[in-house]
Amino acid sequence: MSDAFDIVIVGGGPGGYPAAIRAAQLGMRVACIERGERLGGTCLNVGCIPSKALLDATETYSLIRHGASGFGIRVPEVEFDLAGIMAHKERVVGGLAQGIDFLFRKHRITRVRGTGRIEAPDRVVVTPTEGGAPRTLTATRGVVIATGSDATPLPGIEVDEKRIVSSTGALSLPEVPRRLAIIGAGYIGLELGSVWRRLGAEVTVLEYLDRITPGLDAEIAEALQRVLEEQGFRFRLGTRVLGARRAGDDVRITVQPAQGDGAGAPEELAADVLLVAVGRRAFAEGLGLEALGVALDERRRVKVDARFQTSVPGVYAIGDVIAGPMLAHKAEEEGIALAEILAGQAGHVDYGTIPAVVYTWPEVASVGRTEEELKKDDVAYRVGRFPFSANARARSRRATDGMVKVLADAATDRVLGVHIIGPDAGTLIHEAVLAMTFGASAEDIGRTTHAHPTLPEALREAALAVDGRPMHL
């Protein structure tokens, strides 16, 4: 087998594998090096997909248990089988991983199992995972770093993936913890907290800031906190975690008020399982970047220019390992754009229209700028809101929590941001993404015919509300 390629990609996650497919579609000879057993990276193996499989399973259980009677459906007894739920998760992940293998075969992409180290701008040495002699791959058009991220550790807390877990351990707990404590009120903590809350765990979220989901529009974040509290979540905001340790079957967590002069007395909390979910950090260990001269930024992310080229010509980087939102679809867009650039085309990512979704119930989804950002930048804007309680389909689905919020430029009416909390928000947001991609005004959305009765009518109504004329409010 020849070891000469047009491009060599290190990392087979949602950045690396779409880059490989697009490059192959454009006629390039491609190798993709992945040290893990399966392609798909963090997202498929221990991220987006297993978490959604657990969220979908537990949401179904919760709907039958708590929601069926409201539809006039009597379900005398509902039980869950944790092993069955985990088997569902494994089937989803395994099936999708096979799907990527199929796509690699279809596009004649060479998959190399092992750990890559970039020896020169056109050369990667692979140490095979199964042992054996290292293999050297050469690239005529570029070497791509797509090595992703890993969980950020918290000083003073040692993750053992049993009682003190990262998101990876929290996806595979062998039993439902009676008390689950979570450090960090970001989307990963809230999604995994939802999974175990629905199965009966008492969930307490410890957050340093005085709000949840930093980065989300504050009004939407407050609404999310309220519904999660109604579901039984307990939030301790403004709380600094000083440390945590195992004590028999308990985890003892030491906390202190985050604000003030630090005089607040430390307090000890007990939990059966502690999930540390304080964020993720770029991962580029062992690639030999220092010797190669690839520049990193202050957060140790690989620095790239507008064409994803690092400080070393011929070496490129995409996905979680570079700056920007750590999201699978952002990594994928960058992988596709880079393959097109390397093929001489005008690959491009529109960073202003990357949606973000929190897959709790109800879901939260957003695109564009938040109200706080517009205020900070002194942008004159108008806002339209529409609650799902006034949407016919949401009422028929008994899913009336939440609202759609549209932010539009006061002078031009161009949509600047859309924020949704409510049923299927993660699906609904894409109409707003498309509208913003094409530079739509709020009036454009308001004048677009929406089928009745559907949830997307709430977006249309919020767009009309920007002009003070919603139809059903």
Task: Name the site residues for ligand FAD (rule: CB under 6 A).
Answer: 10-16, 33-36, 41-43, 47-48, 51, 115-116, 146-149, 167, 188, 283, 286-287, 319-320, 326-329, 331
419 has catalytic annotation: no
CB of 320 to ligand FAD, least distance (A): 4
Q: Which is closer to ligand FAD, CB of 52 or CB of 450? A: 52
Q: Which is closer to ligand FAD, CB of 14 or CB of 384? A: 14
Q: Is the peptide bond before 453 cis (omega within 30 degrees of 0)?
A: yes
Which is catalytic among the residues 88, 348, 419, 452?
452
CB of 100 to ligand FAD, least distance (A): 11
For 364, the 3-state DSSP assignment is strand
Q: Which is closer to ligand FAD, CB of 245 or CB of 329? A: 329
What is the torsional sign of CA 123, 127, 129, 130?
positive
Helix (H) or strand (E) holding 103: helix 82-106
Helices (DSSP H) in 26-81: which residue ranges? Answer: 41-46, 48-62
- How many Cβ atoms from other residues are within 10 Å of residue 344's Cβ? 9
Q: Which is closer to ligand FAD, CB of 188 or CB of 273? A: 188
DSSP 161-204: SSSEE-HHHHTS-SS--SEEEEE--SHHHHHHHHHHHHTT-EEE
Burial 275-285 (b: 16+ CB within 10 A, else e): bbbbebbbbbe
Indicate the DSSP class of residue 348.
-
Helix (H) or strand (E) holding 396: helix 392-396
Q: Are 431 and 455 in contact (CB under 8 A)?
A: no
CB of 410 to ligand FAD, least distance (A): 32
Q: Write out the two tokens for 128.
A: 């095979």
Q: Which is closer to ligand FAD, CB of 255 or CB of 282? A: 282
Q: Which is closer to ligand FAD, CB of 150 or CB of 250? A: 150
| 65, 262, 275, 297, 417 from 196: Cα distances, Å | 15, 33, 11, 37, 32
User: Among 384, 147, 383, which Cα is nearest to 282's?
Assistant: 147
Q: Tell me which amino acid residue 336 is.
A: I
Q: Are 111 and 12 in contact (CB under 8 A)?
A: yes
Give the residue numbers marked as catalytic. Answer: 452
